[in-house]
Every structure is written in C-alpha cells, then in structure tokens.
Amino acid sequence: GEQHKTVATAEHVLRDLAGAEMERGDVVVVVGGGVVGDLAGFCAAVYQRGMRHVQVPTTVVAQVDSAYGGKTGVDLPEGKNYVGAYHQPSAVLCDPAALDSLPPEELAAGYAEVVKTALIAGGPLWARVRQGGDVDARTIMGCVRTKLAVVGADERDADRRQVLNLGHTVGHAVEAATAYTRYRHGEAIAIGLLAALRLSGRDALRAEVAELLSARGLPVRFSGAPVDDVLALVERDKKRVGGRVPFVLVEAPGEVTPGHEVAPAELRAAVEEVHAG
C-alpha cells in the first residue's frame, strides 16, 4: 500500500539487494502494482548508481499507466513522489490475465487511470472507454500507446508529458491529506479528475465522467480531511514553478493542455465541490 512507499522501505530493499550481493549487471524484476513498481524501480535506479529492471505489472493502474515511462520514487510526509528518479525499465511484461485475480475494488481503482488516459487520447480510445465496457487487452494497449507517445516526445516532464498529470494535482493532495490510508491511488485520482473538469469549465463532460466513475463504485467526493488541508498540499505540489502550481485542463477529449494558472477562489470552489462535508 501507499503508506509503505517510503524512504525507510527503500532502504530496507536496498540493504536486501546488498545482502544478496547483487551487482550492477544483475536485473531487478518488479512484480506487482504501482507502489511496488515505483519503489523497486527507484531502488534499481540508485543501487550502485543504477541497474536494470523489468516491470511485470499486475494491477490495472500499473498495466495502463505506472509501469511505463520511467518515473520511479517514494513519498515523503510533505508530499507524494517527492523523492525519485527517471529510470526506464529494460522491458515491461504485461499480461492482462493477471487482472483476473484482482478484487473488484482494485479493478475499479485502476479504471480512473483508464478514463484519464482516454481523455488525453480522445478519438477511438475515448469512444471505446465512454461506452463503459471492461478493461480488456485492446483498451490496455490503447492506454499504453497513448502514454508512450507522450513520454517519447518529452521524457523528462519539461512540457507535453505534464498532461499525464490530469487529475493528479488534487488527487495527490487528497491522498496525502488522508495519510495515504483512506483512498487507493485510483480512487483519489477519480476525485481529482472531477475537480480538474470543473476547473476546465466542462460541465457536460464532467457529468459524463462522473457517471462512468460512479458506475464502477469509485468515489466522486472525499472525506476524512478538511478542504483547507487539501488546498495546502496542492500548494506544495512537486510540479510547482516559482511558487505557482500549474494545472492540466481539458478543452475536449483529445485536447488536454498543461501549464494553466487557476485562481485561488476557483480552486477552492472545485475542491469544495468534491468534498463530502
């Protein structure tokens, strides 16, 4: 779980690698979901200044998003993914059959990343996802191709890659404000997506996305933390530049752009709208 994605856990893994006498020419094989992938990928990036790793994603979030692109890292109490490195996997072995073993709530949590990616892609992928069908191999491959096209154009997050943060600015703040114990990552991103669509002024699209998420049992409002705590964490988002936090907004499916400045009052209104209190 996210509560174990810490520097302390990374030290434990690194010391186990050293205890096993792993060498730089060896390979770390990472079997699991997004937390395991981020953590073990980070350890591979820093152990003896870098060794190869192979991602074997077993959750929806990992298969459609987090296993690809080379972002690795762990959290600090001050913010999510504050410690990390870019370290591309040597391979990603993705078997959709692995998803058959997941409980329903875990399948649902991953669906938020599918919707996010489809909004970025637009076109056939959005047309397929908006029908509300199951996440099958075709949908997974559509998400993978969308993400890799974005990463291939901007590996180090200088510009275009920031669109992949759609819904994550508020979503990450909700995760951190609730101590990473109340919501799965995908559940928090579902809430963040709705906040981003409200900030985008796309009411009809927001209603459609809310219906897709609700149909999977995903939360559309959060509880367990006050609005002010979430807003404070948004202000500390790791993507802030010059003290300003840029937002990813949606003009339409397939027309998603980063770098938008949002007025404080608008942000507060959007977060209050997704607050259950």
DSSP 33-76: SHHHHHHHHHHHHHGGG--EEEEEE-SHHIIIIITSS-EEEEEE
Q: What is the pLDDT of residue 185?
A: 92
Kindly give, in sequence order, each residue whose CB lies less than 8 Å from that of residue 159, ignoring residues fewer than 6 positions away.
Answer: 258
Whole-number pLDDT of residue 136 = 95
Tokens, residue 115: 């919707």
Contact between 227 and 178 (Cβ < 8 Å): no
Q: Tokens 């770390």 appear where?
A: 28
Residue range 44-76, pLDDT digits in tens: 999 999 999 999 999 999 999 999 999 999 999
Contact 74, 6 (CB under 8 A): yes
- Tell me the whole-structure pTM to 2 decimals: 0.93
Q: 95-127 in b/e burial notation, b at 16+ Cβ within 10 A?
A: eeebbeebeeebbbbbbbbbbbbbbbbbeebbe
The Cα–Cα gap between 274 and 59 comes to 26
Angle between helices 264-273 and 227-235 (to 10 degrees): 130
Answer yes or no: are the C-beta atoms of 117 and 65 closer than 8 Å: yes
pLDDT tens-digit profile of 198-257?
999 999 999 999 999 999 999 999 999 999 999 999 999 888 888 789 999 999 999 999
